[in-house]
Amino acid sequence: MLEIILTILLLTIVIIAILAVIKFTRYFLKSNTTLNRLLLFTFLCFVFGFAYDLARIGFFMLFGGIYSPLDQLCFNLKIFLLFMGVSSLLRIFFILCRQGGMPIHHESAIRYFYYGIAFFLIVFNVYFYEKIALDGGVIYIFQIHPITFFTILITYGLLLIFVIFKIIKLSHKIYDKNLAHLNLFFGILVSLLTCERYTHLIMYSSTFSFIFGSSLYGLLIDFSIMLIMVLLLYYYLFFGKIDLLESISTYFCLKTLYLIKKDSGHIFYEHEFRADASTASLLADRFLLGGFLYAITQGLELGLGLTGNVDIIQAGKTTLLLRHGKFVFGLLFTLEYTQTLEKMVRTFMDRFEQTYAGVFENWDGDLSPIKMDQLNAWTIEIFKRF
């Protein structure tokens, strides 16, 4: 009976997971940012663990066993990739905190500390684990050592509490309530997914062997938890916001938007997105802008040749997005380029030029026909900023 239930769980998880993997991979192939690369790496690390867990049980049920050396190798590789995936998530967390104006003190020290913990646990686990047969049958599991269990529980348990606290605080800084709620949901989902992977290891530690270690019921509980996580991931990918990380990064990366008259270089609109921007940073932006305008007047062609006359220029830690309009340039200063930002700049510029085409056909320098309140409203609407 338990074998039949496990088979149904396996098939359900496999079908849903395949659909989720296809959608996730298609999105990542189209959106290549630092955060998405890190998230893709994490995703692949976790997928290997899921795939291995499903495959080994499938082999036991279909063929009555699995090649032991290969099984041991994959088990250790699963643990290695689990720690690498969590390390990648930690980098994503640090980047979002920096972009959101909440840099983590001693970030490098924290990262290297957890790298050290991961290295210790990986090496330790290679030599100290046991095989435990379930209900005395052919299906067996690997059991981690109590030292591995308590080290994971203490170090990563504290980290999880800290991360959840920071995610909640970060969500409060997002004034777009829908985006803030999605950010909180995503953070909780990723935290639960990470907990599921660690729970999978801890359930089979010798510390809890008297509860789960030698019974198929423990495996049933484990796969039920896995199914719940896959369903949550499926819901998020198909009914949520798959580009959430990019949207949050976009939200916090925006610095300054300028509208510049093409033939004169006159700046007639400026919007500062970062409420905490200092005078020094504004002066630095204007210095960059002055040099950039000089390059334009010299006829220098810059950019990556993107469609729609959008050029990207990297200036230190700042990225400049330039949109060529018929009458004006739209220039956006940002901490990082994303495709979402490019679409926003296009939308803003197209709306502006369609609305004020008549004004600029025979412009005499008078700015009064241009409604600055309207431009500010468009900026808030399109870029969704505070």
> What is the rounded (10 degree) CA torsion for 64, 69, 73, 78?
20
CATH of domain 254-383: 3.30.450.70
Question: What percent of the chain is predicted at pLDDT more than 70?
Answer: 75
Q: Is the pLDDT of residue 286 over 90?
A: no
pLDDT score of 113 more than 90:
yes
Q: Dihedral angle at the C-alpha atoms of 243, 244, 246, 252, nearest 10 degrees?
A: 160
Strands (E) located in 277-381: 310-315, 318-324, 328-334
pLDDT of residue 114: 92
What is the CB-side half-sphere exposure of residue 152 using CA atoms within 13 A? 26
How large is the average pLDDT for residues 45-59? 81
Q: What is the pLDDT of residue 77?
A: 92
Determine the topology of domain 2-242 in CATH.
Rhopdopsin 7-helix transmembrane proteins (1.20.1070)
Q: Is residue 214 classed as helix, strand or coil in its secondary structure?
A: coil
According to DSSP, residue 285 is labeled H
Query: How does pLDDT run across 337-356, given as a tens digit for each residue?
Result: 777 788 888 889 888 888 88
Question: Where are the chain's structural domains?
Answer: 2-242, 254-383
- For the segment 47-64, the average pLDDT, to the nearest whole number, is 80
Checking if the pLDDT of 235 tops 80, the result is no
Structure tokens at 319: 């990225």
Element (H, E) at 257: strand 254-261
Highest mean pLDDT among 110-124, 203-217, 365-379: 110-124
Quote the pLDDT of residue 300.
40
- Structure confidence by residue, pLDDT tens digits, 147-177: 888 898 899 888 888 988 888 888 888 777 7
Residue 323 in contact with residue 329, Cβ under 8 Å? yes
Q: In the prediction, which pLDDT does 217 show?
A: 67
CA 384 to chain centroid, in Å, comes to 19
Q: What is the pLDDT of residue 3?
A: 62
pLDDT at 307 over 60: no
Strand 318-324 with 328-334, pairing = antiparallel
User: Among 66-80, 171-185, 273-287, which stretch is predicted with the lowest mean pLDDT?
Assistant: 273-287
Residue carrying structure tokens 């309207």: 374
Q: Do the beta carbons of residue 223 and residue 10 sit within 8 Å?
A: yes
